[in-house]
Structure 1
Amino acid sequence: MGQSNTIRILDGNTFVVCEDTGDIEATPSEPTGLFSIDTRFLSTWVLTVNGERLNSLSYDDLQYFESRFFLVPGMATHYVDAKLSIIRERTVGGSFCEQLTILNHDEKPVDLEVRMDAASDFADLFQVKDEILNKKGEIYTEVESDRLRLGYRRGNFRRETIISSSMSARYDSRGFAYTVHLEPNEQWDASIDVQTHAVGPGGRDLRFGLRQHGTERLALQHDLEKWIADAPKVNSEHGRVASTYRRSLIDLAALRFSPLSLGGATLPAAGLPWFMTMFGRDSILTCLQTLPFTPQLSKTTLRILASLQGSRFDDFRDEDPGRILHEMRYGETAAFEEQPHSPYYGSVDATPLFIVLLDEYERWSGDVALVKELEQESRAALRWIDNYADLVGTGYIWYERRNTDTGLENQCWKDSWDSISYSDGTLPPFPRATCEVQGYAYDAKVRAARLAREFWGDPEFADQLEREAAELKERFNRDWWVDDGEYFALALDPDGRQCDILSSNIGHLLWSGIVEPERAEKLAAHLVGPRLFSGWGVRTLAEGEARYNPIGYHNGTIWPFDNSFIAWGLRRYGFAEEAATIANGILDAATYFDGRLPEAFGGYPRELTKFPVEYPTACSPQAWSTGTPLLLLRTMLGLEPHEGHLAVEPRLPVGMGRIEVLDIPGRWGRVDAFARGRLDLNKLAD
Structure 2
Amino acid sequence: MALRQPLLHDLTVTLAAPTVCLAGTDGQIRAVGVQGVLRGDVRVLSEAVVTVGGEEPEPVAHAADGAGAEHAVGLLRGLGDSGPDPTVWLRRDRRVRADGVDETFALVNRSGRAVDTEVVLRVAADLAPVETFRAGRPTTAAVAEPTADGVRWSGGDVTVTLAAPGAEPDAGGRLRWPVHVPARSTTTLRTSLSVTDPGAVVGPAALRLARPDVHAYDPRLARLLHRALDDLDALLLTESGHPDDPFAAAGAPWFSTLFGRDSLWTATLLLPVDVRLAAGTLRTLARSQGTRDDPATGEQPGKIMHERRRAAAEYAGMSLPALYYGTIDATPLWICLLRDARRHGLPDAEVRALLPHLHAALGWIRDSSDRDGDGFAEYFDDSGRGLANQGWKDSGDAVRFADGSVAEGPVALCEVQGYVHEALRAGAELLEAFDDGDPAPWRARAAALESLFRARFWVDGVDGGAFPALALDGAKTPVDSLTSNIGHLLGTGLLSPQEENAIGGRLLEPDMASGFGLRTMSARDGGYSPLSYHCGSVWPHDTAVVVRGLLRSGQAGRAAALGVALLDTADGFDSRLPELLAGFGADEVGTPVPYPASCRPQAWAAAAAAGLLTALLGLYVDVPGGVLRLAPPSPSPVGALRVRGLAVAGGTLDVDLDRDGRVTHVAAPAGMRVELG
Same fold (TM over 0.5): yes
Mapped to 2, the partners of 1:37 and 1:605 lie a distance apart of 35
Q: Deviations over 1:69-128 (max 9, x none)?
A: 22233589x995444322221111120111122233333333222211111111111111
Q: How does 1:45-444 map to 2 (within 5 A)?
A: 45-73=48-76, 80-94=84-98, 95-133=100-138, 139-152=142-155, 157-167=156-166, 169-172=168-171, 174-200=173-199, 206=200, 210=204, 227=208, 230-263=210-243, 265-330=245-310, 333=313, 339-405=319-385, 407-444=386-423
Taking the aligned partners of 1:35 and 1:46, their CA distance within structure 2 comes to: 17
SS in 1 for 2:361: helix
What's the % identity of the aligned pairs? Answer: 31
Out of 466, 486, 507, which is 2:443 matched to? Answer: 466
Aligned 8 A contact 1:637 1:674 in 2: no
Distance verdict in 2 for CA 1:171–1:210, change over 3 Å: farther
* Aligned pair partner of 2:457 in 456, 459, 480: 480
Tell me what 1:215 maps to: none
RMSD, matched Cα: 2.5
In structure 1, the residue corresponding to 2:490 is in which secondary structure? helix
Residue of structure 1 in register with 2:660 after alignment = 678
Q: CA deviation at 1:609?
A: 1.9
Cα–Cα, structure 1 residues 208 and 362, in superposed 2: closer, same or farther, change >3 Å?
closer
Q: Give the SS at the match of 1:605.
A: coil
Native 8 Å contact 1:286 1:627 kept in 2: yes
Q: Is the 8 A contact 1:637 1:649 kept in 2?
A: yes
Deviation at 1:654, TM superposition (A): 5.5
**CA separation in 2, counterparts of 1:181 and 1:611?**
46
Q: Distance in 2 between matches of 1:566 and 1:293?
A: 19
Q: Match of 1:255, as an amino acid?
A: L
For 2:559, give the aligned amino acid.
A
In 1, Cα distance between equivalents of 2:201 and 2:417: 39
Counterpart secondary structure, 2:231: helix
Scaled by the length of structure 1, the TM-score of the pair is 0.89
Segment drifting more, 317-326 vs 517-526: 517-526
Distance 2:83 2:411 in 1: 61
Per the TM alignment, residue 584 of structure 1 is displaced from its structure 2 partner at its CA by: 2.6
Map Cα deviations across residues 600-621 of structure 1 (whole Å, 9 max, x no partner).
2233332222332222222221
User: Residue in 1 aligned with 2:28?
Assistant: 23
For 1:143 and 1:332, the matched residues in 2 are separated by 32
Contact 2:18 2:202 in 1 (8 A): no
AA in 2 matched with 1:193: S
> Counterparts in 2 of 1:551-566, with a 5 A limit?
551-566=531-546
Q: CA deviation at 1:334?
A: 8.0
Match of 1:44 in 2: 47
Corresponding residue to 1:649 among 631, 641, 644:
631
Contact 2:13 2:20 in 1 (8 A): yes
Letter in 1 for 2:430: L
Q: Which residue of 1 aligns with 2:668?
A: none
Distance 1:296 1:334, change over 3 A: farther
Match of 2:481 in 1: 501
> Any idea what SS the aligned residue of 2:387 has?
coil
TM-score of the superposed pair, with normalisation by structure 2: 0.90
Q: Structure 2 vs 1, CA of residues 72 and 278 (structure 1 numbering), >3 Å: closer, same or farther?
A: same
CA contact (8 A) 1:197 1:207 kept: no
Q: What is the count of residue pairs matched by the alignment?
A: 647
CA distance in 2, matches of 1:530, 1:108: 63
Q: Is the 8 A contact 1:399 1:431 kept in 2?
A: yes
Quote the offset at 1:535 in angstroms. Answer: 3.1
Q: For residue 413 of structure 1, give the secondary structure of its aligned residue in structure 2.
A: coil
1:162-185 deviations in whole A, cap 9, x for unaligned?
A: 111233534545132122223323
1:515-554 equivalence runs, <5 A? 515-554=495-534
The alpha-carbon distance between structure 1 residues 2 and 539, as it changes in their structure 2 partners (threshold 3 A), is: closer
5+ residue gaps in structure 2? 1-5, 662-677
Cα separation, 2, equivalents of 1:264 and 1:197 = 21
State the secondary structure of the residue aligned to 2:581. Answer: coil
Contact 2:527 2:535 in 1 (8 A): yes
Q: Does 412-421 or 252-261 show the bigger shift?
A: 252-261
Amino acid aligned to 2:601? P
Instruction: For 2:441, give the aligned amino acid.
Output: Q
Q: Deviation above 6 Å: which 4+ runs of structure 1?
A: none
Contact kept in structure 2, 1:490 and 1:505, CA below 8 Å: yes
Equivalent residue of 1:3, what SS?
coil
Which 10-residue stretch deviates more, 340-349 or 480-489? 480-489
User: Distance in 1 between the 2:338 and 2:655 partners?
Assistant: 24
SS at match of 1:25: coil
For 1:83 and 1:567, the matched residues in 2 are separated by 52
Secondary structure in structure 2 of the residue aligned to 1:511: coil
Task: Summarize the alignment of residues 614-629 of structure 1 with structure 2, pairs less than 5 Å apart.
Answer: 614-629=594-609
Residue 52 of structure 1: SS of its match in structure 2? Answer: coil
Q: Which runs of 5+ in 1 are unaligned?
A: 201-205, 213-222, 680-686
Q: Give the Å deviation of 1:54.
A: 2.0
Distance in 2 separating the partners of 1:590 and 1:410: 29
Q: What is the distance in 1 between the residues matched to 2:634 and 2:110?
A: 55
Alignment match, 1:589: 569
Deviation at 1:582, TM superposition (A): 0.7
| 1:303 CA displacement | 0.9
Report the CA distance between 1:331 and its aligned residue: 5.6
Matched residue, 2:675: none
| Separation (CA, whole Å) in 2 of partners of 1:602 and 1:168 | 45
The structural deviation recorded for 1:440 is 0.3
CA pair 39-193 structure 1, distance change in 2 beyond 3 A: same
Instruction: Report the Cα distance in structure 2 between the residues aligned to 1:160 and 1:187, rounded to whole angstroms.
Output: 33
